[in-house]
Amino acid sequence: MRPLFSQISLSEFSLDQSNIQELGEKTILVKKWNWDYGLAHKFQRKCLEALEESPKTRIIICCSHARVFTNGRGLQKPKKGETLNLVEFDPKLSSTLPFPFYQIERGGGLTFHHPGQMIIYPIVRLNPKALSLSALIDDLFDFAIAALEEWELKGLNHENKLLGLWHGEKKLASMGIAIEKLTTFHGMALNFYKDEEMKRALNTVNPCGLNAETYTSVEELIDLKNKTLEDFSESFLRRLAYAWK
C-alpha cells in the first residue's frame, strides 16, 4: 500500500518512509511526534486526494503537535430541550493568544494541542454499512478506553451530552471531525501528559466552550509507572488494527 504515497513528496511534510507502516491489508499508519501543525494539516489534504483513487484504503495519522490553538466551524449545538452553556471563542481575539492559531474545517470550537497529547486523524471513506461517522467516533473513544482500562484507569465514558471522553466531570479527550466527499479528516486529541504552560494559556479562553479546569490528563488520573505516550499509542493502534481489518 505504500505506493499510495508515491506521488507525494514526504520530505515536503517533514516525513520519510520510517514514519509509515502498514496496520493491515487496508490500513496505513503515519506516525510522527511533535509534528508541525501546518504541515500535518496539509498532509491530511494530500491524503484526501490519495483516497479519491483508493477509497477502500484507510490512512490513520497518529501524532502530536507543538503548542497550538485551532478553531473549528462552531461549538456543539444543543439538542431539543438541552442547555449546554458553552462560551464561543471570538476569532478576532486570536492575536492575543500565546501560541499559533489556525482556523480550520472540523466541527467544534476552539481547542488546543501540545506535545503531551496523542492525536488520531482517521482519513477514512465512510460507508453506512461498513463504518458510519457515529461508529467511527465511538470506535476511537472505545479503543482509548480499552487501552486505559488495561492500565487500571476506570470510570471513563463517552456518553456525556457533550462530545468527548470523560472521567466524571473531567474531560480527557476531544473530538472534531471534518468530512469531504464522504471521507473523514481531523479527529481525536487525548491529553496524556499534563502541560502547565498550556494550562496557564487555557485560563484565558474557553476550550470547546468549557472552563479550562474541566480538562485533565492521563498523568493526572493515574500513576503512569514509567508507561509512555508511545506505549499508549501502540496499545491503542493494536486495537484499531484488530477492529478495522
Structure confidence by residue, pLDDT tens digits, 126-139: 998 889 999 999 99
Query: Average of pLDDT values for 168-183?
Result: 96
* Alpha-carbon distances of 114 from 19, 59, 109, 149, 152, rounded to whole Å: 20, 22, 17, 24, 25
* Alpha-carbon distances of 91 from 2, 33, 49, 101, rounded to whole Å: 39, 28, 29, 9
Q: List pLDDT tens digits, range 190-217.
A: 999 999 999 999 999 999 999 999 999 9
Cα 13 from Cα 2, distance rounded (Å): 16
In this predicted structure, which of 16-25, 28-37, 163-172, 233-242 has the lowest mean pLDDT? 16-25
Q: How much is the pTM?
A: 0.96
Catalytic residue among 47, 62, 63, 208: 208
Residue 27: pLDDT band (50, 70, 90) is: very high
Q: List pLDDT tens digits, range 42-82.
A: 999 999 999 998 999 999 999 999 999 999 999 888 887 78
User: 211 near 205, Cβ under 8 Å?
Assistant: no
Burial of 181 (0-12, 13-18, 19+ CB in 10 A): exposed
Give the cell for residue 55: 477509497
The answer for 209, left when phi > 0, alpha when psi is -120 to 50, beta otherwise, is left
Judge whether residue 118 has pLDDT over 80: yes
- Give residue 19's pLDDT: 96
Residue 208 a catalytic site member: yes
Query: Average of pLDDT values for 177-196?
Result: 97
Question: Domains of the chain, with CATH numbers?
Answer: 26-71+100-243 (3.30.930.10)
User: 110 near 89, Cβ under 8 Å?
Assistant: yes
Judge whether residue 3 has pLDDT over 80: no
Judge whether residue 173 has pLDDT over 80: yes
Cα 67 from Cα 61, distance rounded (Å): 18
Q: Which residue has the cell 461549538?
A: 75
What average pLDDT does the structure give for the chain?
Answer: 94
User: 140 near 175, Cβ under 8 Å?
Assistant: yes
- Give residue 2's pLDDT: 62
